[in-house]
């Protein structure tokens, strides 16, 4: 049972000399409404000017170095290093005591996900601002509560009789008493007992995660109606009584074993949603009726073909028009803030969530609000006007936000039209409208057109049908297996056999023209890929050529021309799909593209019947292709940088390029040093930042081989061969018009036209795969940025831990073991997190030294503790022949050392000690017998006792240890002693 006694702190007034607060707003009938900007500034000024808090800017919505979060979802995220004790002691953060800010938060995806609720009601948001004040080891409960009450009632003028306060009621199972201290503080402030309500762990105990700082919280709730007793409506999700402020008192740490330990420093963490507070102060029942949203709703109405926003929900909201207003208003705020912070719609993680938000808002805009294409982006200036003064990055990035929204909208609307046709076609085929919708069609929408599955469900729900969920789950499982097999190289691809190749030649089928794969251009920093229409020349079923393939089968398709890149030269094949002339709403997904004998074979899943002679349109997955281009050009530059740093003896031994990362194998006697890794990265990123042009040209093979500095690998090249050069045109290399050293290789892959699109490169792994061959794995772009951020975060963690380990030596074994465990946990993080490899090596070296130091401290304290235990046992039992006893320790290592010290002092004694491990309930066992003692081997003794206790043991003839389980340790001791006596007496 934990009982916490906290003394009352100093008076509320804060640092000396600050004036007492005066009311800035009243709920009286004649009082003007506070604009949201003023609500925010009153909060920040109250804590900054009147109570000495430091104003800290909002962090970016993308967490830095925290892979557990997709987005910053609470005000405390950026202060995690302080709460966790990991703040760099040399950083400004380490000096924080009182802090205030307004934090940009996104709750969409991950543990806190409000995306599906947005629009359904009038108070959920994907983006919101969290007002918060923090105390790190400064003030605590009394001052936090008093400040909050003063701000709400005196400065904002909220009537006290509209407010209800909840506090922690305690939890017997966790050994937590009710937070009577907080209750008494509120009573002293003047909150009536009837408005002071106790709640349990779920409502009033806040935890950062499964482990870490936590504590009781007290929440302030507001009654929109007033003039009544609304206590029964608190915490029941009533729209009339809403929580507006949560004050968390960080005083415990949740351990791995789920126990609670008092923190060495108590902290306060508060959070109050600006949107909800503004609705209270502007006397609105809906957040969307405040000036944070009304300009947006007005702008949406001006651009739509529906009536004005009326605030309806549920069945009253005919056609979900008001829901659409709320969705679009909320989502354009989220899109603007995220893009301004560098999170762009993409294919994974937070980027995928943002892509989903954009597509959801576009659909409501176009289909429900009947607004023209481009409407969403026209709302961005309104968002900038509302939020730009406090978040200036919105002004800076406004044009970028507009461009990205417009580009993604255009792409999605094209997919949406095709998806709508596909759904309607499938519905027309269904005999009964109440049938379940084919899962294969729903999966095709998701996989090939990028439709979120929940959007598919919504579109089907509007048509009164639902998807076959069981079949859909099966398709998803198959897809995951295929993806897994592809990663392990186990996927089976169709390959033309020698008979089929001969048959193609006999039939006079021309080789595939795949020149379009190189014919892309760069227009205002955007890559433009050519359209491709082709004729089906041949179909291959895996065994023979056929003239027709039925729906639902897989086959190989040979076309007269293609824009798809086939897997070769270490680069992954392109992805995408076909559509057939006259049947544009049926997709033929391309699962693989391979080249054989001059023919490009597209492995295709047939969405409807396909025949030779059919005309098809090829739809390239441009995002995937561009990602491969980025990685391939980066691989060439990396290859060049390795030779620049390590010398001409370095030879490429293989590479692989995919959309997410690149791999390069090269010859080297040993691994690269930290300095060499840094030099290679610097060389690569200098070329990237200089945005050099990438040139390519086909040349006769013999001519190409004459180029000075040409990089080749041991493989058969075509003739003519493609030469790819960075920064220098190929003719200049041929004519020796330059002495400049550059990357120039023979390569059939697809490349960027300028190096700047790579943005950044980080080597995240480098190791010898066989003697003399090393493998580098690297990431680019946003993945590289994240790797650097994660590396910096781990660097700060190691620095913080080193500072504690190099400080005063731990005085207790528990504290020393805790430090040693932290070193182990941090070592695992450094080993397994994608960070710069040079930094990983440096941190690993430092952590090994810290591990040795912490292990030494643990060992010394274990020896000291064992000496105390051994002396106590010796005084109790003397130096008799058989010593069987229990000691108080949770450490098997201490137990072994205690046994060893007893045997050293009494070398002729048979010694066994048991200990009851408090946390796990296990019984620890250790024993040692005299040298050359045939009657009783230590291993036999420990094994017998631990088996008796339902456990196991092991060791040598002289020393052994093990574990078991028993609540009757005295009984276990008697059994162990009796077993030993029988063995010893029997031998006599």
Please state, in angstroms and rounded to a whole number, the distance separating the CA atoms of residues 913 and 926.
Answer: 6
From CA 261, how far away is CA 252, in angstroms rounded?
5
Measured CA to CA in angstroms, residue 237 lies from 121, 225, 240, 241, 953 at distances of 12, 15, 9, 8, 55
The reply to whether 632 sits in an annotated binding site is yes
- CB burial class (10 A; 0-12, 13-18, 19+) of residue 562? buried
Q: DSSP code of 176?
A: B
| CA separation for the pair 610, 553 (Å, rounded) | 10
| Strands in 80-225 per DSSP E | 98-106, 127-136, 163-168, 196-199, 205-207, 212-223
For 921-958, b/e burial (b = at least 16 CB within 10 A) is: ebbbbbbbbbeebeebbbbbbbbbbbeebebebebeeb
Angle between helices 453-461 and 439-449 (to 10 degrees): 130
Could you give the residue ranges of the DSSP H alpha helices within 692-835? 701-705, 730-734, 781-805, 813-832
Radius of gyration of the chain measured on its C-alpha atoms: 35
Q: What is the 3-state secondary structure (H, E, C) of 814-831?
A: HHHHHHHHHHHHHHHHHH
Tokens of 159: 């009537």
* Spatial contact of 159 and 29, defined as CB atoms under 8 Å apart: no
Is 916 annotated as contributing to ligand binding? no
Q: Degrees (nearest 5) of the Cα angle 156, 157, 159?
A: 130
Judge whether 155 is annotated as a binding position: no
Instruction: Give ∠ CA 267-270-275 in degrees, rounded to 5.
Output: 165
- Residue 692 tokens, joined: 């050099």
Q: Which tokens is 82 given?
A: 């302080």
Residues 902 and 905: their CA atoms lie apart, in Å, by: 5
CA dist., res. 425 & res. 441, Å (int): 10
Run of H or E residues at 482: helix 469-488
The first and second tokens of residue 152, run together, are 């709400």
Q: CA 617 from chain center: how many Å?
A: 37
Q: Can you tell me the distance from the alpha carbon of 451 to that of 442, in angstroms, rounded to the nearest whole number?
A: 9
Residue 683 annotated as part of some ligand binding site:
no
856-to-452, 863, 929 alpha-carbon distances in Å: 54, 11, 27
Residues annotated in a binding site: 632, 636, 747, 751
Residue positions in the annotated binding site for Zn(2+)?
632, 636, 747, 751
């Amino acid at each position: 049972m934990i009982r916490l006694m906290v003394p009352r702190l100093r008076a509320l007034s804060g640092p000396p000399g600050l004036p007492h607060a005066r009311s800035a707003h009243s709920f009286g009938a004649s009082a003007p409404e506070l604009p949201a900007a003023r609500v925010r500034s009153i909060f920040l000024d109250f804590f900054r000017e009147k109570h000495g808090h430091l104003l800290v800017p909002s962090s970016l919505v993308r967490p830095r170095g925290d892979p557990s979060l997709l987005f910053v979802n609470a005000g405390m995220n950026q202060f995690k290093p302080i709460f966790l004790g990991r703040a760099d002691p040399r950083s400004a953060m380490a000096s924080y005591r009182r802090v205030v800010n307004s934090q940009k938060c996104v709750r969409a995806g991950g543990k806190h996900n409000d995306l599906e609720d947005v629009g359904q009601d009038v108070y959920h948001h994907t983006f919101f601002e969290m007002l918060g004040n923090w105390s790190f080891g400064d003030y605590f409960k009394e001052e936090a509560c008093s400040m909050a009450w003063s701000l709400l009632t005196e400065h904002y003028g909220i009537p006290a009789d509209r407010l209800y306060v909840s506090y922690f009621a305690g939890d017997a199972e966790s050994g937590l008493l009710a937070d009577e201290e907080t209750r008494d503080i509120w009573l002293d402030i003047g909150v009536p007992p009837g408005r002071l309500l106790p709640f349990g762990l779920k409502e009033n105990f806040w935890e950062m995660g499964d482990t870490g700082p936590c504590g009781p919280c007290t929440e302030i709730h507001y009654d929109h109606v007033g003039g009544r007793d609304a206590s029964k409506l608190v915490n029941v999700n009533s729209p009339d009584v809403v929580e507006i402020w949560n004050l968390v008192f960080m005083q415990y740490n949740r351990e791995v074993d789920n126990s609670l330990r008092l923190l060495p420093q108590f902290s306060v963490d508060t959070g109050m949603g600006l949107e909800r507070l503004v609705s209270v102060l502007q006397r609105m029942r809906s957040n969307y009726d405040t000036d944070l949203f009304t300009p947006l709703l007005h702008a949406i109405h001006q651009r739509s073909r529906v009536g004005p926003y009326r605030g309806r929900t549920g069945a009253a909201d005919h056609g979900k028009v008001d829901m659409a207003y709320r969705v679009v208003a909320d989502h354009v705020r989220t899109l603007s803030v995220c893009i301004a912070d560098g999170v762009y719609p993409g294919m994974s993680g937070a980027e995928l969530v943002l892509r989903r938000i954009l597509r959801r808002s576009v659909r409501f805009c176009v289909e429900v609000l009947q607004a023209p294409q481009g409407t969403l982006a026209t709302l961005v200036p309104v968002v900038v006007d509302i939020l730009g003064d406090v978040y200036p990055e919105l002004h800076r990035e406004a044009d970028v936000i507009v461009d990205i929204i417009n580009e993604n909208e255009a792409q999605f609307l094209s997919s949406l039209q095709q998806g709508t046709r596909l759904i309607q076609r499938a519905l027309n085929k269904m005999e009964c409208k109440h049938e379940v919708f084919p899962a294969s069609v729903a999966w095709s929408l998701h996989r090939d057109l990028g439709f979120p599955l929940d959007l598919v469900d919504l579109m089907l729900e509007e048509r009164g049908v639902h998807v076959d969920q069981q079949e859909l789950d099966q398709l998803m499982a198959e897809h995951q297996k295929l993806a897994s097999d592809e990663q392990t190289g186990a996927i089976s691809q169709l390959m033309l056999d020698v008979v089929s190749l001969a048959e193609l030649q006999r039939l006079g089928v021309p080789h595939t023209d795949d020149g379009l794969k190189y014919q892309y251009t760069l227009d205002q920093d955007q890559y433009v890929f050519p359209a491709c229409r082709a004729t089906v020349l041949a179909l291959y079923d895996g065994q023979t050529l056929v003239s027709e393939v039925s729906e639902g089968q897989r086959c190989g398709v040979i076309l007269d021309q293609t824009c798809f890149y086939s897997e070769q030269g270490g680069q992954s094949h392109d992805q995408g799909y076909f559509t057939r002339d006259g049947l544009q709403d049926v997709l033929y997904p391309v699962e693989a593209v391979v080249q054989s004998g001059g023919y490009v074979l597209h492995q295709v899943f047939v969405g409807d019947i396909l025949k030779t002679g059919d005309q098809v349109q090829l739809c390239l997955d441009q995002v995937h292709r561009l990602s491969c281009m980025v990685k391939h050009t980066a691989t060439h530059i990396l290859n060049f940088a390795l030779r620049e740093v390590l010398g001409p003896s370095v030879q490429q031994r293989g590479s692989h390029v995919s959309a997410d990362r690149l791999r390069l194998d090269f010859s080297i006697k040993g691994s690269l040093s930290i300095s060499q890794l840094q030099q290679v990265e610097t060389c690569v990123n200098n070329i990237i930042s200089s945005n050099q042009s990438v040139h390519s040209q086909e040349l006769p093979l013999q001519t190409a081989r004459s180029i000075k500095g040409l990089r080749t690998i041991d493989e058969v090249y075509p003739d003519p061969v493609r030469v790819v050069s960075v920064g220098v045109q190929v003719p200049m290399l041929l004519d020796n018009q330059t002495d400049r050293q550059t990357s120039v290789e023979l390569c059939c892959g697809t490349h960027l036209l300028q190096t700047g699109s790579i943005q950044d490169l980080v080597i995240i792994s480098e190791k010898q795969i066989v003697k003399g061959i090393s493998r580098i794995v690297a990431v680019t772009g946003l993945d590289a940025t994240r790797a650097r951020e994660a590396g910096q975060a781990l660097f700060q963690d190691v620095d913080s831990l080193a500072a504690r380990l190099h400080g005063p030596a731990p005085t207790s074994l528990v504290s020393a073991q805790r430090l040693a465990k932290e070193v182990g946990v941090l070592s695992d993080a450094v080993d397994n997190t994608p960070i710069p490899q040079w930094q990983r090596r440096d941190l690993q070296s430092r952590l090994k030294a810290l591990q040795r130091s912490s292990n030494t401290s643990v060992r010394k304290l274990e020896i000291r503790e064992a000496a105390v235990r051994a002396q106590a046992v010796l005084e109790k039992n003397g130096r008799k022949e058989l010593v069987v006893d229990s000691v108080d320790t949770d450490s098997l290592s201490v137990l072994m050392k205690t046994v060893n010290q007893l045997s050293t002092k009494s070398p002729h004694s048979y010694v066994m000690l048991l200990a009851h491990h408090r946390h796990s309930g296990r019984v620890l066992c250790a024993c040692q017998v005299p040298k050359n003692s045939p009657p009783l081997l230590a291993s036999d003794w420990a094994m017998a006792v631990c088996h008796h206790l339902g456990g196991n043991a092991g060791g040598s003839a002289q020393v052994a240890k093990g574990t078991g389980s028993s609540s009757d340790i005295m009984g276990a001791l008697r059994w162990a002693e009796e077993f030993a006596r029988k063995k010893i007496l029997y031998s006599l």
